[in-house]
Structure formats: C-alpha cells, structure tokens
Amino acid sequence: MSEEQSASAASAASPVYDTAKILAALPHRYPMLLVDRVVSLDLGETIHAVKAVSFNEQFFQGHFPGAPIMPGVLQIEALAQAAGILAVESLELAGTGKLVFFMAIENAKFRTPVYPGVLLDLEASFVQKRSRVCKFAGKASVEGKVTCEVNFTAMIADS
C-alpha cells in the first residue's frame, strides 16, 4: 500500500468528531448522549454518525429483560442528536446560547430491532433550512440494514 493510500485509509477510519467535539456541539450528557462519533459531516447537507449500542445501556434493564432491544424512540433521539450537530455546525450556532429543539416527528417507521453489541449508523440530512426552523430526514441502520426511518422538524431557540 502506498503512503497516499495508507493516509487515505487512516483518515477514512478516524472520526471527524470524537467525544470531546460532540460534547462541545451538543448539550446532552450521559445517559442521554446517544452519539459516540461523527464519521462524516458535509456542512449544510448531511451527517453520518455512529452510536455504539452496549449491553450496559440503562434502557436494556427494562426493555426487555431476557430479550433486550433498543427502543425506537431512542433511535429517533440519536438521529435528532446527529441532526443537531449538523445544524449547530452548519448554522454556526456553537457558543451562541442557541439550542435545537424537536418540533415534530413524522413518518417514523421501525424496520428491524436493534440489539446490544452493534454499531448503529445514524444518517441525517437537511430537507429544509430556515433561520429558526429546519426539517431533516433521518435513517438509522446496522450493517446496511435499515432499522428506523423518520422525518422531523426542529426549532432553533435560546436556551
């Protein structure tokens, strides 16, 4: 492998955002922080983030004992957090005291259960951008198999 190919492979594997950058972009903290890394970010367009779904997640204690699956609403929340990073970075909101709040969730579809021990890919893209309201399309998947699809609207507001 040439040096150029090696460098390209290394940059493809390293996250665009690690935990420290995610914590700087989002107000969420454990146990509600559901984005572990950002793989790619195309400002004003799309984001690809990842949630490492661990058996140690609090929700697995009760959802469901003996047959743990990640709740669909938390998949949507993870997608919304990824979209929040996209909005904060694209609209240059970091440090402004502005937050991104859910306004609406539409056309949510759950396709496949998410089990502990997987990497949940989170893809969100802008559908519409305005100064205070943004619409997004989101899709979560595990190894290329879609687990959840949703459209949602968020409002930019003071914290």
- Give the per-residue pLDDT at 80: 98
Element (H, E) at 38: strand 37-42
Split at pLDDT 50, 70, 90, the class of 12 is very low
Question: Given a cut of 90, is residue 159 above it in pLDDT?
Answer: no
Q: Is 63 a catalytic residue?
A: yes
67-119 pLDDT tens trace: 999 999 999 999 999 999 999 999 999 889 899 999 999 999 999 999 999 99
107-155 pLDDT tens trace: 999 999 999 999 999 999 999 998 899 999 999 999 999 999 999 999 9
The domains found in the chain, sorted by start residue, are: 15-158 (3.10.129.10)
HSE value, Cβ hemisphere, 13 Å, CA-based, for 50? 19
β-bridge pairing 98-110 and 37-42: unpaired
User: Buried b / exposed e across 114-144, counting CB within 10 Å, b at 16+?
Assistant: beeebebbbbbbbeeeeeeebbbbbbbbbee
Identify the active-site residue in 63, 93, 105, 146: 63
